[in-house]
Structure 1
Amino acid sequence: MDSQMELAFEKSKSGDKEERFEAYQTILEATDQKVDWAYEVWDQLLEDLTHKDNHQRSRAAQYLANLAKSDPEIRMMNDFPLLWEVTKDEKFVTARHSLQSIWKVGIAGTPQRERLMEYMVERFKGTDEKNYTLIRNDILQNMRNLYDHYNEESIKQTALDLIETVDDQKYKKKYLGIWK
């Protein structure tokens, strides 16, 4: 990892709000492509998933999701449950940001996509969570993102099957809108 990226990781944890956001953007942009330094930050990011600062947890989850494509050892298969936990964070904004980026794990490979789909399907079925309609929306958007990436009919069919289980017509219509 070059010194500029090291500095971005440092700044994403400290400095003023503007500096942190700039560093966050830099890291997300860099990790949008495969990088050869993922394991230099991997363990620290795993640790940060349980950091006392919810912003740190959120950033760590988003960075890890982005780094899944740069994981030739496929560590994500073992670490995914830790990442998934952040999608249920006590701070809803942290949970939501993590959930909205977790689809990127699914573009890392077939085993990762299958694991992610299992977790999302199971989570969609629950209605005891606070804000479950927003969570369902994010899950369906994640499936849409995966479908757009892979153009795999089974992903779309899974999403449509889940939407069929929704009783509330207002939400059913909203969820179907993701697939138009």
Structure 2
Amino acid sequence: MEQQIQRYFDGLESPDKQIQYESFTSIMAITEKEVDWAYEIWDELLKGLTDPNNHTRSRAAQFLSQLAISDPENRILDDFPALWEVTKDPKFVTARHALQAVWRVGLAGDEQQGLVVDHLADRFKNCTAEKNHTLIRFDIIQGLRKLFDETKEMKIKQIALDLIGLEEDSKYEKKYKAVWKNV
């Protein structure tokens, strides 16, 4: 791993919030494209998914989601349940950050895409008893839209539209439909 990238990971632990933020945004930007150092940090990120610190859990989930495209061994397929668990974190902001990032796993291949879409669809259908379920549903619809925008897979669009059709509250149905406007 390049020294600068290691400095970014080190910066996440800085007491200075600005350094933490700059390090986080730099890592997120770098990992939008495939990198060759994913496995150097992979196990540490996996451990981070269950760290007592919610910021660590959130970052680990977001970074692993980003790094799925840099995973030629397809480790994410085995590690996905641990990543998915963070989308249900007791700390809602942590869960939401993980849920908003998990769609990127679907960019890693057909199997990963199926796994992500299936989990998102199931969560949409079964989250009504959860607190803030309308935000969860919105994040799912947005994640599916982002995945569609990257892949142009029409089945993703159809699944999203079918899910929106399940919404019984017209206010939220309209809000979810707006995400898919202009497609």
Specify if TM > 0.5. yes
Aligned to 1:15: 15
Deviations along 1:109-137, one digit per CA (max 9) or x if unpaired, are 11000000110111001211110100000
The answer to whether residue 178 in structure 2 is matched with residue 177 in structure 1 is: yes
Consecutive unaligned residues of structure 2, counting only runs of 5 or more, are none
Is 1:154 aligned with 2:155? Answer: yes
Q: Secondary structure at the match of 1:33?
A: coil
Who is 1:25 aligned against? 25
Percentage identity across aligned positions? Answer: 53
Q: Secondary structure at the match of 2:173?
A: helix
Correspondences of 1:35-74 after superposition (within 5 Å):
35-74=35-74
State the TM-score, normalizing by the size of structure 2. Answer: 0.96
Deviation at 1:15, TM superposition (A): 2.9
Moved over 4 A (4+): none
The unaligned stretches of length 5 or more in structure 1 are none
Count of residue pairs brought into register by the alignment: 180
Counterpart-to-counterpart distance in 1, 2:26 and 2:151:
26
Q: Deviations over 1:15-73 (max 9, x none)?
A: 31111111101111111110000000000000000111100100111110000000000
What is the CA–CA distance in structure 2 between the aligned matches of 1:69 and 1:46, rounded to whole Å?
16
Query: Aligned with 1:50: secondary structure?
Result: coil
Shift in Å at residue 13 of structure 1?
2.2
Give the CA deviation at 1:10. Answer: 1.1
